Each structure stands twice: as structure tokens, then as C-alpha cells.
Chain A
């Protein structure tokens, strides 16, 4: 099976129902995408599939063949992703940091679709869990990134 990840084609030989998360982490060594719950509850595994924020822990690879997958490893090369990262750094968002790959990509997906999101848009899109409770800093960083 061929997967297109961050603009590069990868051949993977694995059961087609394997979640994308584990192909990224264990087969391709891209560990920036995190395992948190495995049930699409927490969002730590968020990646972009054709620009849409998607929870890779419940996404079988057979469903994304032919799609363009973007992971946190490529975020700084994406113009919107770069703005988001800078806003994350300037707002000092991360604490333990474990959920932040997913948060940054959720924000990137939002700003690609709604470059000037309302607070409601932000609340609707930024639903990933953060046990450190960085939610206020996340919302502030998304607003900053939209202004950048």
C-alpha cells in the first residue's frame, strides 16, 4: 500500500485495517503523533487528511490511500502551520506537551478552513483534551495565529 505523508510516498506492507497512528509511529518512526486513548476521545493523534483534522488512532490506513496526510513533523514547512507554531511558542502554550502535536494540527486545520475564526469557530474546532489544562493559552494562540 502506498501512503502519501508530508509530500513523500511511503510503501507500507501491513494489514490494511491498521490504524494510521501506528503506521506513523512504529513503521515510519514518526513519533510526533501521539497515542492517548485509541478511541478518538482525546485527539492527541490528530493529523491532517487532505487538510481535515483527523484522529489517526481510529483511521485505518486503507481509508487514506491516495489522500495527502500531513503530520506534525511537517508543520513548520506549512505556511499556516508555521504561523500556528510561532503563536504556540509566543503564548508559551505547552506544559507537559504530550497533547500539543494534536492541538497544533487541529489549529492548523481550523485556520486553513477559516483564516479569521470567531471564538465560536475556535471552540468548535479546538476540542482535543489537555490534562495540563492549557486551554486558555491554546485559544489565545489560535487567535494570535489568525492575526499573524
Chain B
């Protein structure tokens, strides 16, 4: 699969066999708006097909690098940029070894292909995996290309390669004072074999890795020049808008006012799609006006249809169902004898926690631009975080081979897990059908209201905790039973006798030395379409666990920070991190205390171990007219080792914002099978006035590299909730906090 070169070969015959030096055709802006193809792998079809089965991802320089005559490096990233700074990180990592300043990189998302399967033999921008999974491979790629350039320079200058070195962007012969810009030897270097072994640069000599290198996209994004999928246009394109069945599974029946809609301005055609109607028009606004004017009778789903939305579904009733489940579920993590230790405990603490469904709410509404080409290929410009998976799915739908589907992966206007393959939550199947039907390219945009109707939600869950304390108030046993469904099982297949780790991560995998532990899960199908939401299971599970931790501490008469510190006595990495965040915040104090402005405040602390990184978080909170006000959030993060401290700081700020938004406001509510909010007026997200100051300390412990995009989030809801509990004098066991009645407890 993923052989895109059948098309490329025709346009690129003269480039065959060159290990790097891609054609500039099709790169970046030139692929848009014109009929040229955006995929230009260098090899011919036959050769590439043979190679596809055996290619080691990340080894073929040609798939990634082109060095232009002016020594600018064009780089194809296996990972999609959606704000997390991955394009800049790739330029830093490759540039460090290639010896090119990252500022001289131009980066775009790579097409599907075997070269880019850098996340464990697959390709997926998510799970905070991009840098940590590709770091070594991308360094080697840059070093190999540099070695080839050195060899080409040696030939050019007629000197032994050992006498040459490089400085950014050029080879240098120190003895004669001669230099050769990379751009002048790139062609010759491309003819050379890729070296089998290369020496990587010593960490002490890094110029760009580990430094706060400026983002490559900051200026374009500050001047409106960055292009997202929703902005793209090709010749002859029409626009489409849809109206979905109010409940998933319903199909369009009668259209009452079709004739009137056909007479609307710019109208081209009406289409019945699976679960939706569409209008195609000569502008998106006209398409939207027309499709929303359509009066559609929706049929009920046929019995047995998977994932239909029940007419009586309510999130409130579903939560009651989850909380009513009894039993210990399937064990996921067990150590010691939790049941026995609970039975013999001096005191038992019990509580049930819950968290709601969440929407992604990324600011770019989903869109898809589809074009069927005369050569039988289908070309798609679509927001996505897994090009090969989208390609395979699109091919199936289109009834053509995957190598006939060309995928372009533009910059994403917000990521957060929204752009995975969620079937009913992706607009491209509709765009493919519409483009086929009208025989022209079609750009489909979902209105914000349609997006709120069809987004894949963060699952909801309830968790029952029981903890056993000894006579000194120290926890000796902990049992947790998570009830709900995880997104990984939904989309990658679930084994009934096994626990989906995405349902329990953040309850399992905790670092505290509690000798007797059991984490179990009871699976209950989530009636909603669920998906990955920044930090996935951790987004709620660390809230559950870390707030229950404070309940245990309170019940045992322990300070929650001191108890954490004590239970990390044998875990120096985590203890160091906890101490780091306390120090960053000026020393631990729980409160309540009176701040300089007279408000009554408290602090909460939480820890999390998400996506290979470790995080400790403290939040300072007051209550104002019953509303939670978060003043400061301190985050100490240990990702092992780092690439860009400035981007880490930005990502932690961003994760704090999203985590706080979920803690304060966010909740998708369904009544009678319908979401109550269809836009931001009904689904509040964090506004600037609610943004706290954020203080970040990066701790590089030297542990294996962890993720960055998501780990800052999970500690925020529990740190805030723990502080609120101190001020309110009552435990917080559910989110969002806006549901709590805290009036009358203001400071």
C-alpha cells in the first residue's frame, strides 16, 4: 500500500534514482490551486513498489529532504503540524546533524508512504509521540545527508573527505580556506550512496537541539498567510454544506421544500448522503443557506445499525447507569492484596467520581476538498493526523486502489485529537461522494453547528475508589473500578476479556508506594461517538485519582503534599519533580490563606505520568461569587530530555488552558439523543479573562525522552479541584466545577 509513485513517476522520470534532490514541483504552495501533483517521490514506480515492502522508515533521505540551489532545505515531516511545533522541532533535529540552521528549513507534511511510518511501524501524529519516536532516526537522516554532501564536496574540491568539515549550510576546506554551499553540491551528493554508518553530533556541541529556536511558522500565522484545509481552492471547485440527521443513524426521507431550495442563489444541486443531505453551490455561504433551508424528514435507523444515537439518550441518565454498576470489573493492574488489606484496614475511605463528555472545540471547523482527476486518481486535501489510514479508508469508499488516492495533509487549525479516523466524524467521505456526483472538485465545510453534532467526544466515565488507611493515616490499600469505555478500544478493536488501557491510564500507572493496589474496569458501551481528546484517558483519570488522593490524605490527617512526598520516598525522579514544583511556587502551602488583594486562597497539588513524561502541578485558587478563579498554575515537567524549551513552555501553557477549560466549564449534554450545545454560545471554553499565570520548570532527568503536547494537561483539573475543596470545605467529585453550588463560600 501507500505507493504514491505511480503518479509521481510520470512527472518525475528525470529524477529517478536520485537519493535526494526532490523536484520542487509539488512542494508547498505550488501544489495548491494548480493541477500539478503534490506527491513527488523520487523513485520510479517499479523500484518504489519493490522498496515499499522493505524500506526502513526514515532511511531514504530522498523521501524527506531536498536541498535547493540556494541551500534552503525543503523537508517533508512525517508528522502533521497542528500547533504543537513539530515542524520546528524536525528542523532543529535534522538541521543539527545536517548542519543547517533551522531557519533555513521549509517544512510540510509528508504524503502517505512507507518512509514515514515512524511511530512503531505505523504513522500517527498523536499520543505525544512525534519527537520521541523519531528523534534518533531523524538525527541519523540529517547526519547521513551531511556525510554525502561532504563526499560530494571532496570530489568537487579534489581533496580527501577527511580534510573537510561543515559549517551551517556549506562544506569547508579549512586548509585552503575554500567553502562550497550545500546548494551547489546537492545534485552531486544525491548521486552518492547513503552511508551505512554515521557519527552523530555530541550533545555538548548542540547548537539547536535543546535551544529555544523560534517557530518556523510564527510569521505566516501572524499575518494570515498560513493555509489550512478550509482555505484551499482548486480550479473549477464548487462548495458544499451539509445538514446531518439530528441523531446519528437517521437517514434523509422526504424533502418538503426542494423546489424552493433549488431556486436559491448560486444553487447547483441537492444530494442525499448517508445520514445527511448536502447542497452544492457556487459559494459556501450559499450552500449553507440552502441546505439549512431544506426541510428534511429523517427516518429512524434500521434495527441493528451500529452506533446509532438512541432517541432517549441522555448524558445524565447514562451517568446514573455507570454509577449503578456493581462489581470489581476486569483487573488491569494489581499488586499485593488490595481486598485483604482493605478488609483489615484501620479506616476505609470510599468515593465515586465522574467526568462528562467533552467536545474538541478546535477553532477550524472540519472540511474536505476532493477532486477526481482524469487519470483515475482521487485527490484529497483533508485535515488528518494519520495520512495512510485516511488513504486506505478513502480508497475503500471510492472503490479504487489506495495508490490512486493522493492525500494532502495541511496545517491543522487546532489538533487536540480531533483529526483521527472517526468515520462519522470526518467530512471527507461526503466530499468524495459529492465530487464524484457533480464531476467537479468540491470543498465541503461543516458549519460549527454540524461540528458540534458530529464531533467525536472525549468519553464520560465514573470511578469507584476505596482506600484503606493504617492507624497512622497512611494509605495501605487502594482499589479503583473505572466504568465506561475507552477510545482506543472503540477504534482499534476491544478484547472483551482485556481492559482498554485508555480507559484506565492515569488511575493505573500511578507512582505512589501503596503496597496493595487493584485497578479494574467495567466496560459499558458509550452511546456517543467517542474519540481521542488531548491526553486521552489521563484527561479525566488523573483528576479522579489525584483528587481522591487528597481525600485519603484528609481522612488520615495528612497534608496532601507531604503524603505524596512520603509515598515517593523510593522514587527519586518523581520526588525531585514534586520538590521542583513546590520550589517554583515559592514553597508548598495549602491554605486557606489571605492573598495581598484580600482574597481567600488555597493551593492544590497533583502529579501525573502521561505519555512517557512526568509532571507535577500546583494551582492557586480563590472563589468569587461561587465561581472558581485560578490565579497561578505552576508546572514542573520532566520529559527526560528535550528539543525546544520555548515550545515546551508554550505547550504547557496550552495544556494548562485546555485542562482548566475542561475543569471549569466544559460538558457535552445530551437530552433525547440530541446535544444541547451546537456552538460556543452553549459550550463555554476558556476565555482570556479566565487564563491564569503559568509558570513552567523543565527538569531534564535524562530518562528516555517523553512526550510534550499532552502531558501538561492531566495535572491541572485535580490541582484546581483540590484547591477548591480546601476553600469550599467539601470534596469535588465531578466536573465541571461550574456545576457545583459554591455560593456562600467566597473568601
Of B42-50, B130-138, B217-225, B321-329, the one touching chain A: B217-225
Q: Which residue of A lies closest to B265 (CB)?
A: A15
Cβ–Cβ < 8 Å partners of B223 in chain A: 32, 72, 75-76, 85, 101, 104
Of the candidates A94, A123, A133, the one whose C-beta lies within 8 Å of that of B218 is A94
A94-B215 in contact (CB<8A): yes
B413-A34 in contact (CB<8A): yes
Per-residue B-contact encoding for A39-76, CB less than 8 Å = 1, 0 else = 10110100000000000000000000000000111011
Of B306-314, B458-466, B551-559, B677-685, the one touching chain A: B677-685
Q: Which residue of B lies closest to A84 (CB)?
A: B222
Q: Once bound together, how far apart are the Cα atoms of A137 and B445, in whole Å?
A: 30
Cβ–Cβ < 8 Å partners of B415 in chain A: 96
Given A26-B284, A133-B658: A39 in contact with B685 (beta carbons within 8 A): no
Q: Which of B635-661 contact A (CB under 8 A)?
A: 646, 650-651, 653-658, 661
A72-B224 in contact (CB<8A): yes
Q: Which residue of A lies closest to B360 (CB)?
A: A131
A98-B285 in contact (CB<8A): no
A131-B653 in contact (CB<8A): no
B686-A133 in contact (CB<8A): yes
Does A114 touch B at the CB level, under 8 Å?
no
Q: Once bound together, how far apart are the Cα atoms of A126 and B687, in whole Å?
A: 10
Does A3 touch B at the CB level, under 8 Å?
no
A42-B233 in contact (CB<8A): no
B691-A98 in contact (CB<8A): no
Q: Once bound together, how far apart are the Cα atoms of A25 and B232, in whole Å?
A: 10
Q: Which residue of B lies closest to A15 (CB)?
A: B265
Q: Which residue of A lies closest to B445 (CB)?
A: A35
A104-B413 in contact (CB<8A): no
Q: Once bound together, how far apart are the Cα atoms of A26 and B265, in whole Å?
A: 15
Q: Which of A1-51 contact B (CB under 8 A)?
A: 14-15, 18-19, 22, 25-27, 29, 31-39, 41-42, 44
A98-B363 in contact (CB<8A): yes
Per-residue B-contact encoding for A122-147, CB less than 8 Å = 1, 0 else = 01001111111111111100000000
Q: How far is the CB of A96 from chain B (nearest CB, A)?
A: 3
Q: Once bound together, how far apart are the Cα atoms of A21 and B694, in whole Å?
A: 34
Q: Which of B77-96 contact A (CB under 8 A)?
A: 82-85
B363-A95 in contact (CB<8A): no
Given A96-B363, A137-B650, A138-B688: A73 in contact with B224 (beta carbons within 8 A): yes
Q: Which of A72-92 contact B (CB under 8 A)?
A: 72-73, 75-76, 85, 88-89, 92
Of the candidates B413, B416, B687, the one whose C-beta lies within 8 Å of that of A129 is B687
B363-A99 in contact (CB<8A): yes
Q: Which of B179-234 contact A (CB under 8 A)?
A: 214-215, 217-228, 230-231, 233
Q: How far is the CB of A70 from chain B (nearest CB, A)?
A: 12
Cβ–Cβ < 8 Å partners of B653 in chain A: 133-134, 136-137
A94-B217 in contact (CB<8A): yes
Q: How far is the CB of B535 from chain A (nearest CB, A)?
A: 14
Q: Once bound together, how far apart are the Cα atoms of A100 and B413, in whole Å?
A: 10
Given A89-B218, A96-B82: A26 in contact with B283 (beta carbons within 8 A): yes
B85-A133 in contact (CB<8A): no
B85-A95 in contact (CB<8A): yes
Cβ–Cβ < 8 Å partners of B221 in chain A: 94, 97, 100
A42-B363 in contact (CB<8A): yes
Cβ–Cβ < 8 Å partners of B411 in chain A: 96-97
Cβ–Cβ < 8 Å partners of B689 in chain A: 123, 127
Of the candidates B222, B651, B656, the one whose C-beta lies within 8 Å of that of A94 is B222
Q: How far is the CB of B649 from chain A (nearest CB, A)?
A: 9
Does B412 touch A at the CB level, under 8 Å?
yes
B215-A98 in contact (CB<8A): no
A37-B448 in contact (CB<8A): yes
Q: How far is the CB of A79 from chain B (nearest CB, A)?
A: 15
Chain B CB within 10 Å, residue with most, of A96, A123, A128: A96
Of the candidates B239, B364, B656, B681, the one whose C-beta lies within 8 Å of that of A98 is B364
Of the candidates B222, B227, B656, the one whose C-beta lies within 8 Å of that of A133 is B656
Q: How far is the CB of A109 from chain B (nearest CB, A)?
A: 15
Given A22-B284, A37-B679, A85-B219: A95 in contact with B688 (beta carbons within 8 A): no
Does A111 touch B at the CB level, under 8 Å?
no
Q: How far is the CB of A39 from chain B (nearest CB, A)?
A: 5
Of the candidates A27, A97, A99, A104, the one whose C-beta lies within 8 Å of that of B217 is A97
Q: Once bound together, how far apart are the Cα atoms of A38 and B284, in whole Å?
A: 12
B283-A22 in contact (CB<8A): yes
A98-B448 in contact (CB<8A): no
Does A93 touch B at the CB level, under 8 Å?
yes
Given A19-B285, A72-B223, A139-B688: A88 in contact with B218 (beta carbons within 8 A): yes
Cβ–Cβ < 8 Å partners of A136 in chain B: 653, 691, 693-694
Cβ–Cβ < 8 Å partners of A128 in chain B: 688
Does B613 touch A at the CB level, under 8 Å?
no
Cβ–Cβ < 8 Å partners of B521 in chain A: none
Of the candidates B225, B681, B688, the one whose C-beta lies within 8 Å of that of A39 is B681
Q: How far is the CB of B456 from chain A (nearest CB, A)?
A: 16
Q: Once bound together, how far apart are the Cα atoms of A66 and B239, in whole Å?
A: 29
Does B365 touch A at the CB level, under 8 Å?
yes
Cβ–Cβ < 8 Å partners of A25 in chain B: 231, 284
Does B361 touch A at the CB level, under 8 Å?
yes
Of the candidates B225, B657, B688, the one whose C-beta lies within 8 Å of that of A132 is B657
A95-B283 in contact (CB<8A): no
Cβ–Cβ < 8 Å partners of B219 in chain A: 85, 89
Per-residue A-contact encoding for B45-89, CB less than 8 Å = 1, 0 else = 000000000000000000000000000000000000011110000
CB-defined A-B contacts under 8 Å, sample of 27: A14-B265, A15-B265, A34-B363, A34-B413, A39-B681, A41-B680, A42-B680, A72-B224, A76-B223, A89-B214, A92-B218, A92-B650, A94-B83, A94-B222, A96-B412, A97-B220, A97-B222, A100-B221, A100-B222, A101-B224, A104-B222, A131-B363, A131-B414, A133-B656, A133-B691, A135-B688, A139-B688
Please list the 4 inter-chain residue pairs (A to B) with the smallest Cβ-Cβ separation, ordered nearest first: A133-B657, A32-B224, A97-B221, A96-B83
Known: A14-B283, A31-B224, A94-B222. 19 other contacts (CB 8 A): A19-B285, A27-B283, A34-B230, A34-B363, A35-B230, A35-B365, A36-B363, A38-B449, A38-B679, A41-B679, A75-B223, A85-B222, A92-B650, A95-B651, A97-B221, A101-B223, A133-B658, A134-B654, A135-B657
